[in-house]
Structure 1
Amino acid sequence: MVQMWEIVGGGDKGGIIVRDGETTKSNQLDDRLSTGALVEEVELKGDRLHYKLVLGTGPPDGWVSTKLKDKDLAVKTDKAPVSSPPPTSVGPKGEAPLPIGLFFPGQGSQYVKMMEKVMDIAAVKEMIEKSKPILGYDILEICLNGPEDKLEETRYCQPAMFLGGLAGLEKLKQDKPEAVSRASVMAGLSLGEYTALCAAGVMSFEDGLKLVKLRGEAMQEAATSGAKKQLMLSVAGLERAKLDPLCREAASKEDGGVCSVANCLFPQGFSIGGTEKAINTLKELAEKNGALQAKVLKTAGAFHTSLMQPAQDKLSAALEETLPNMKPPMHSVWMNASAQPIRPGTDPKEIVALLKRQLTNPVLWDDSMKAILKEGVNEFYEVGPMKQIKAMMKRIDATAWKATTNVEV
């Protein structure tokens, strides 16, 4: 049985310190683990606890001290997390939900000629026109004609994928309107989380696009302006408990090295971000330790790691400015940073708090999908370009994979 712990210390400091390794000399993470949080024990070594966050705020995983001198910081508990129940009504008309999930892809699913199948839908035409003064360029032109290397640039790719996901939603509304208005859950992979929140009614298209534009530009700048080159590595065939120590070992081999899990995509399937030397070291370590695959990815930067902090700072400020315009969601949205749902009626402040953690913490996609399946959702739509999410679903649950339909754009 899994041992749970409750965080009882740090009440006067906003929580307790979290580090990325077992020793108290390892790197301190930016966020503290909130007082009152419930965590799952991964490993206990003396007074040092390797945890996985279940309830509360703070880094999704890390190492904390259970005691400081003679004072308890964390105590064992038999408390079980109380998750909010599924809603009985969803959507703009407050209808009974159907067991349907809508998933929105992120960066990496773009391709030249995307939007060709949906560009003539009236609502899509309207979004394209609204996007021009916000972006300062014609995103449809880049989607249709590229060139590919331009569409791959983070600053262009993210607005393109945001538009592509919402265009796919309009197509699904035409083909099967109840799948949208009565969907039980929504989720988006990384950038796709903004598409999901827009689809759930949290933010307008215009506000969402402004945030996505800033996000893409800030991430591209954070990826290219540092002294060290950034890389990402795809690793398959290792458990997280084995991969994390290898990341720490790889980071320690480089002065100022960064190497940490960025995306938990499917069982034993991860992407890891960091500095060039550390990532190349991890590739060797992963292969030596039995990984089925360790492949350097063609990405623009070490997304969802501490190297994105400059981008997260800019985005956090913009999120605070947008907060007064935000509305509670009309559907449950599973969030990347927590693998927990925000339910209809949730205060947008809670959503902003999770988005403020998203760029510098791992995307917990695998855990989110498993939780959605437990909730009884059994019909799925990947809304937007390509079939990346469906491919990952095959590794997570074969039955759900067969029940996943792609809404192509």
Structure 2
Amino acid sequence: MEAGWDPFGDPADDSERSFVKAACKSVVTVDADLSEGHVPLDPWNDVTFVSLVQEAAREAKEQEEATLKLLAEQQEEEEQKQIEREARRLKLEQQARELAKLSLPERRQKLREREAYTEFAMEAIQQAPAFVAAAAERKSRSRELEVPQPDDPEVALGRAAAEIAAANMGVKINFKTKAEATCPMALLFPDQNSKSLKMLRGLQEFAGARRLRETARALLDFDPLEGPGFQGFYELLRGPEGWLEHTQYCQPVMYITQLAAVEKLRDKRPASLERCKAVAGLSLGDFAALTFADVWDFETGLRAVQLRGELMEAAMLDEPQAALAVAGLTQDTLEELCSQCREQGEVCGLAQRLFADGFVCAGSAASVERLLQRARSTKGCKQVQQLQLVGGCHTSMMQQARMQMFDFLQSLAGSMKPPRLEVYLSCGTKVAAGSSPDWAALLADQLTHPANWMDSVSAMLKDGLGEFYECGPLNQLKGMMRRIDPKAYKATVALDVYSEEWQMRPTGSLPPRWGETPPAASAVDLLAVGAMPAQTSA
């Protein structure tokens, strides 16, 4: 308790005590500041003054350098424009000299040709109203023009004129025959092994893709571009994108990227998207295909994909699983090898048939390891390599996940609508537009039944589909198309989903690079080209 006022004390003593207390408090404050490294600046200290002057001089120098750099860039740009103007002037002078050498009838003929040239150019440009927007935006875009009679000289002249006129506006034209410009088109959606780092970043310039990202951020509780945050020691080994090596995160991000790629196609080639008559998915790609076909909305599909990834991740953690990409062996030979590698209680079988001699095998880790060694030593094997992220998908090892997935999809049965276009599922089933199949059984069985991509592509070609757009990274479906049908390969376009500063490839979800293959190649690319010898080791 604080002592009260002493009537017999000297007031001067109280003042002295107050002064001492204030001094002590000041000393304690200074000591605390010094202990925390906060030393107050002393304007009368020579060292402090010199450091301030040096800092100001450094800032002034940096500002001067930035100004000089900007002036140099402006001067370089002006010089480049001057060079272009001079080149254009010289070209016009050369044309004038050549024209002066001609006779009067020849000059008149040249003028008539030039008028016709201009007329055809304007007519061709009018066929593509999007040129107006392209000229205003000054962006390079790819448009399509129909050429009904390509052998007609007048059409050829108009085509050349349109190409030059469009090039002056920064536009590239893709001329097609009437059959090519009107043929039915299909969208292809790959599986999760096509994932790649920064795959969604290159699509953020499109408003539709940004909306998908924002919607997914709210549902997933993490940004699809940045990931869920630090996941433990694993990320220290794999790098900042190590989270993408987890199936439960990879699958939702792949789903978002696939549909964001559709938004790019909608912006770049709206006429092509109007010709879309069918969609096809490989494994995970089925879910994006159903979203585009309006069977369910984006949010419902994302919840289904998120659950699928979590169930598959849990199944792979519960029991050791593995998968192999094998090329060069027949289906009968590979099935025989799988049966030889199975021991009591183990699973080993075909999970995906990608093309004639390209397969993915999956099952128990021990049996798949034996299959790797046997397939590598089998005559005719061109490539065999272990895959990550897949595990025992499309085998009986996903039975528990299949049951839980079926229950979830069954709860959505009342809200799932008939597709507005044809759907080719990876299980080999074709769903006609307007029909109402048992979606819960089809999508749940996908986890335990083999996927047959080759049959899906063959069915699309048989039904008259002549153009394809792959909506996802790594161009793996296009690579497989080369082995299925070379003509269809030429009509397949892989949509770029990378930004210019992030042209990257994954480092863990796909097999390691083969020594004789360029770094950009992936596992299924190698399967598609079948370029590797049988005895190559990992």
TM-score by length of 2: 0.55
Are the aligned partners of 2:355 and 2:454 in contact in 1 as well (CA < 8 Å)?
yes
Residue of structure 2 in register with 1:238 after alignment: 329
1:315-346 deviation line (CA, Å, top 9, x unaligned):
11111111111111011111111x23101111
The match for 2:222 among 137, 141, 147 is 137
- One-letter code aligned to 1:293: Q
Higher helix proportion (structure 1 or 2):
2
Inter-partner Cα distance in structure 2 for 1:352 and 1:171 = 30
Note the aligned Cα RMSD (angstroms): 2.1
The match for 2:211 among 108, 121, 126 is 126
Residue of structure 2 in register with 1:107 after alignment: 192
Offset at 1:98? 4.2
Residue of structure 2 in register with 1:387 after alignment: 475
- 1:179 aligns to what SS in structure 2? helix
The match for 1:344 among 425, 433, 438 is 433
Are the aligned partners of 1:224 and 1:301 in contact in 2 as well (CA < 8 Å)?
no
Tell me whether 1:258 sits opposite 2:347 in the alignment: yes
The match for 1:362 among 439, 442, 450 is 450
Residue of structure 2 in register with 1:317 after alignment: 407
Offset at 1:177? 2.0
- 1:206 aligns to what SS in structure 2? helix
Tell me whether 1:202 sits opposite 2:290 in the alignment: no
Aligned length: 308
- 1:117 aligns to what SS in structure 2? helix
Residue of structure 1 in register with 2:364 after alignment: 275
Residue of structure 2 in register with 1:177 after alignment: 270
Tell me whether 1:154 sits opposite 2:244 in the alignment: no
Are the aligned partners of 2:409 and 2:439 in contact in 1 as well (CA < 8 Å)?
no
Q: Pairwise mapping of residues 161-172 of structure 1 onto structure 2 (< 5 A)?
A: 161-172=254-265
Q: Bigger shift: 161-170 or 320-329? A: 320-329
Inter-partner Cα distance in structure 2 for 1:268 and 1:219 = 27
Inter-partner Cα distance in structure 1 for 2:245 and 2:435 = 34
Residue of structure 1 in register with 2:81 after alignment: none
- 1:138 aligns to what SS in structure 2? coil
Residue of structure 2 in register with 1:403 after alignment: 491
Inter-partner Cα distance in structure 1 for 2:388 and 2:286 = 21
Q: Pairwise mapping of residues 72-83 of structure 1 onto structure 2 (< 5 A)?
A: none
Are the aligned partners of 2:282 and 2:425 in contact in 1 as well (CA < 8 Å)?
no
Residue of structure 2 in register with 1:14 after alignment: none
Inter-partner Cα distance in structure 1 for 2:407 and 2:274 = 32
Tell me whether 1:285 sits opposite 2:374 in the alignment: yes
Are the aligned partners of 1:220 and 1:300 in contact in 2 as well (CA < 8 Å)?
no
Residue of structure 2 in register with 1:330 after alignment: 420
Could you say if the C-alpha distance between residues 406 and 122 of structure 1 is closer, same or farther in structure 2, counting changes exceeding 3 Å? Answer: same
The match for 1:377 among 465, 470, 476 is 465
1:162-206 deviation line (CA, Å, top 9, x unaligned):
000000011111122233343122111111110011011111000
Offset at 1:312? 1.2
- 1:325 aligns to what SS in structure 2? coil
- One-letter code aligned to 1:322: L
- 2:196 aligns to what SS in structure 1? coil
Inter-partner Cα distance in structure 2 for 1:102 and 1:390 = 12
Inter-partner Cα distance in structure 2 for 1:140 and 1:288 = 42
1:276-308 deviation line (CA, Å, top 9, x unaligned):
211122123323432222222233511111111
Offset at 1:397? 1.1
Offset at 1:364? 0.6
Are the aligned partners of 1:234 and 1:295 in contact in 2 as well (CA < 8 Å)?
yes
- 2:201 aligns to what SS in structure 1? coil
**Any gaps of 5 or more consecutive residues in structure 2?**
1-181, 231-238, 498-538
Are the aligned partners of 2:349 and 2:362 in contact in 1 as well (CA < 8 Å)?
yes
- One-letter code aligned to 1:150: W
Tell me whether 1:223 sits opposite 2:308 in the alignment: no
Are the aligned partners of 2:198 and 2:225 in contact in 1 as well (CA < 8 Å)?
no
Offset at 1:310? 1.5
Offset at 1:142? 3.0
Between structure 1 and structure 2, the one with the greater Rg is: 2
Residue of structure 1 in register with 2:285 after alignment: 192
Offset at 1:375? 1.5
**Any gaps of 5 or more consecutive residues in structure 1?**
1-96
Are the aligned partners of 1:342 and 1:351 in contact in 2 as well (CA < 8 Å)?
no
Are the aligned partners of 1:330 and 1:345 in contact in 2 as well (CA < 8 Å)?
yes
Residue of structure 2 in register with 1:67 after alignment: none
Higher strand proportion (structure 1 or 2):
1
- One-letter code aligned to 1:218: L
Inter-partner Cα distance in structure 2 for 1:241 and 1:323 = 38
Inter-partner Cα distance in structure 2 for 1:396 and 1:147 = 37
Tell me whether 1:117 sits opposite 2:208 in the alignment: no
- 1:113 aligns to what SS in structure 2? coil
Inter-partner Cα distance in structure 1 for 2:192 and 2:252 = 10
Offset at 1:107? 0.6
What's the % identity of the aligned pairs?
A: 40
- One-letter code aligned to 2:212: M
Offset at 1:123? 1.8
- One-letter code aligned to 1:222: A
